[in-house]
Amino acid sequence: MTLTIAIDGPAAAGKGTLSRRIAEEYGFHHLDTGLTYRATAKALLDAGLPLDDEAVAEKMAREVELAGLDRSVLSAHQIGEAASKIAVMPAVRRALVEAQRGFSRKEPGTVLDGRDIGTVVCPDAAVKLYVTASPEVRAKRRYDEIVAGGGSADYHAIFEDVKKRDERDMGRADSPLRPAADAHLLDTSEMSIEAAFQAAKTLIDAALQTKI
């Protein structure tokens, strides 16, 4: 039986790093589902196609190859903005959710992170975590990341952007970002990544004890 760990939460909450650590710890496959929305958006932008044509966006979504997804080529701000626009389209979501569910069945187990994993993609996941942090902390983390990478950034612009992204992700009609009823909440505002990982591991080990 495949074990799936579902990790949801808002942008820049530390889900990605945490999910990779967890997948490594348990020897599970990992899928960052945000990349599936980003890859669809990039394909549209690259082809000069509109971002508001649901049928065209769905066609692109169906062509996304999960194996080749790479955050370093999909991290641009413009791609994130476009991704959050096409993510409101039900036909795009249906296509990507289908592919994500297929991935979630890989043996021996999987970690999927995104916005709707515990609520829509894998409602039967063995463990569900909802990872969050205050908008101020998330904006500061993103700011530090850009500066550490040698770039220049404007904290206030990033903060406004984080809030705007939250509104869009939480306010959309189809699969809005929200914790599943049975998700464990993990607020990482005052935690290092290592502390968040240890807290997640304790929750996962306890949940897995009861499933095996």
116 binds ligand DC (CB under 6 A): yes
34 binds ligand DC (CB under 6 A): yes
Q: Which of 14, 169, 186, 197 binds ligand DC (CB under 6 A)?
A: 169
Piece in contact with ligand DC (CB under 6 A), picked from 54-62, 114-122, 127-135, 187-195: 114-122
Nearer to ligand DC, 58 or 169 (CB): 169
Q: Which of 29, 30, 115, 128 binds ligand DC (CB under 6 A)?
A: 115
**How many CB atoms neighbour CB 84 within 10 A?**
21
Nearer to ligand DC, 126 or 169 (CB): 169
3-state secondary structure the chain: CCEEEEEECCCCCCHHHHHHHHHHHHCCEEEECHHHHHHHHHHHHHCCCCCCCHHHHHHHHHCCCHHHCCHHHHCCHHHHHHHHHHCCCHHHHHHHHHHHHHHHCCCCEEEEEECCHHHHHCCCCCEEEEEECCHHHHHHHHHHHHHHCCCCCCHHHHHHHHHHHHHHHHHCCCCCCCCCCCCEEEECCCCCHHHHHHHHHHHHHHHHHHHC
Nearer to ligand DC, 14 or 34 (CB): 34
Q: Which of 4, 40, 84, 110 binds ligand DC (CB under 6 A)?
A: 84
Piece in contact with ligand DC (CB under 6 A), picked from 29-37, 44-52, 136-144, 194-202: 29-37
83 binds ligand DC (CB under 6 A): yes
Piece in contact with ligand DC (CB under 6 A), picked from 55-63, 76-84, 142-150, 180-188: 76-84
161 binds ligand DC (CB under 6 A): no
Distance separating alpha carbons of residues 74 and 55, to the nearest angstrom = 22
38 binds ligand DC (CB under 6 A): yes
Name the residues that contact ligand DC, by CB under 6 A.
11, 33-34, 37-38, 80, 83-84, 87, 114-116, 165, 169
